[in-house]
A and B are shown apart, each in its own frame.
Chain A
Amino acid sequence: MHELSITQSILNIAVSSAQKEHAKKVNKITIVLGEMTDFIPQYIQEYYNIVSKGTIAENAELVFKKAPAIARCLDCGHDTHLKDYKFICENCASQNLKIISGKEFFVETIDID
């Protein structure tokens, strides 16, 4: 249910970016979504089809690019792809890690006519 307010935000970003380019239509919106977020692409698309009605971005296809959850070990420098959110370096078992990818949530590109 928390997808609704962020869907409105996606629409606003797409429409205002398209208007700057004097576009007539938005065909596709590419969104980068980190693995360490709880947003569900399918719900976002369903809400999107409702909130986008009557706009130049009506029914645009939403494409989600997954950003992996990666943390860098501050002790050995190794990058670990985190599984199930578990903060542990696969190389040296340290828990002294810094997330370098996986929290992303942004509109990367739009495809317009």
Chain B
Amino acid sequence: MEIKVVHQILEWNEDVSDKIKSDLTKKNVCLINLMGSPGAGKTSIITTIINNLSDKFNIGVIEGDIAGQIDAQKMKDLGVPVVQLNTDGACHIEAMSIDNILPEFDLDTLDVIFVENIGNLVCPAEFNIGEDMRIALLSIPEGDDKVEKYPLMFQTTDALVLNKYDMIEYFDFDEQRAIKNAKDINPKISIFKVSNKTTEGVLEFIKYLENKITEKIG
């Protein structure tokens, strides 16, 4: 006998994601989900963000990694509250993990929390974690074809950072190809060319972030 069910498979994650969003809105905290491959420069860009925005906002960081405390220690050294989230092998962060970790922060004193997702262009794109915005990083050495190869990541993001932009002279990275493909699958995407090393493009990206955070928390 066949019976009708019609039950969303990701409902458990969506429900918790909605709860996080509502909890953080009440506390006036903005949550930003940062995604990209291992080595794309996620930790470095968070460092840059902290250095440029910590006089304007109180920033917290959730460091997602399969194992280890390496990135959390870097954040601690910068003097921001940080919680390391080890997924023990899982390829992405789910909303429940964020919900469990938020009590570790004093949300009354924070304005924005950055989540460094697991280094991966596939799985994190499928799971909402209660974020207000998504940022995807694609570094120049990874290649200009990644937008075509991993479309969901670049379609669901608000902003794309072409990171390590100072490397463009050393790699056959067709920047127009990457930008066109990103806009084809995500016409509203904001794109930034950034180098943490030379600081090229950093100010523009920081200004964009500042506006987005202010939009949320006033």
Residues of A bordering B, CB below 8 Å: 1-2, 5-6, 9-10, 13-14, 17, 21, 28, 31, 36-39, 84-88, 95-96, 105-113
Q: Known: A21-B3, A88-B184. Is A6-B9 also a contact (CB below 8 A)?
A: yes
Among candidates A14, A86, A87, A105, residue contacting B8 with C-beta atoms closer than 8 Å: A105
Once the chains bind, are B91 and A1 in contact (CB under 8 Å)?
Answer: yes
Mostly, the B contact residues are mixed
Closest to B11 in A: A9
Contact indicator A106/B8 (Cβ below 8 Å): yes
Q: A107-B9, A108-B4 are in contact. Are A39 and B126 (CB under 8 A)?
A: yes
18 A-B pairs with CB atoms under 8 Å apart are: A2-B122, A13-B5, A13-B9, A38-B122, A38-B123, A84-B185, A85-B155, A87-B184, A105-B10, A106-B8, A107-B5, A107-B6, A108-B4, A108-B6, A109-B5, A112-B1, A112-B2, A113-B1
Bound CA span A87–B184, Å? 6
A13 & B10 in contact (Cβ 8 Å cutoff): no
Checking A38, A87, A107, A111 against B126 with a beta-carbon cut-off of 8 angstroms, the contacting residue is: A38
B3 touching A105, Cβ below 8 Å? no
Partner of A106, one of B9, B122, B152, B183: B9
Closest 4 A/B residue pairs (Cβ): A2-B123, A85-B151, A95-B187, A85-B185
Task: Identify the closest chain A residue to B91 (Cβ).
Answer: A1
Chain A residues with CB under 8 Å of B94's CB are 5
* In the complex, B204 has a CB within 8 A of chain A: no
Residues of chain B within 8 A of A88, CB atoms compared:
184
What distance in Å separates the Cβ of B8 from its nearest Cβ neighbour in chain A? 5
Contacts of B187 in A (CB 8 A): 87, 95-96
Complex Cα–Cα for A2 and B152 (A): 14
Choose among A5, A17, A87 the residue with the greatest number of B CB atoms under 10 Å from its CB. Answer: A5
Across the interface, which residues of A come within 8 angstroms of B2, CB to CB? Answer: 28, 109-112
Q: Are B151 and A112 in contact (CB under 8 A)?
A: no
A104 → chain B closest CB, angstroms: 9
Report if B92 contacts A (CB, 8 A).
yes
* A17, B3: Cβ atoms closer than 8 Å: yes
> When A6-B9, A10-B9, A87-B187 are in contact, do A109 and B122 touch as well, CB less than 8 Å?
no
Within 8 A of A (CB), among B117-136: 122-123, 125-127
Q: Is the Cβ of B9 less than 8 Å from the Cβ of A1?
A: no
CB within 8 Å for A9 and B12 given contacts A2-B123, A106-B7: yes
Is B186 positioned at the interface, with any CB of A under 8 Å from its CB?
Answer: yes
Check if B174 is an interface residue, CB within 8 A of chain A: no
Q: Complex formed: what's the CA distance from A53 to B54 in Å?
A: 51
Residue in contact with B92 in the complex, picked from A2, A96, A111, CB distance below 8 Å: A2
A85: which B residues are within 8 A, CB to CB? 151-152, 155, 184-185
When distances are taken between beta carbons in the complex, the residues of chain B under 8 Å from A105 are 8-10
A109→B4 contact, CB < 8 A: yes
In whole angstroms, how far apart are the Cα atoms of A23 and B84 in the complex?
Answer: 44
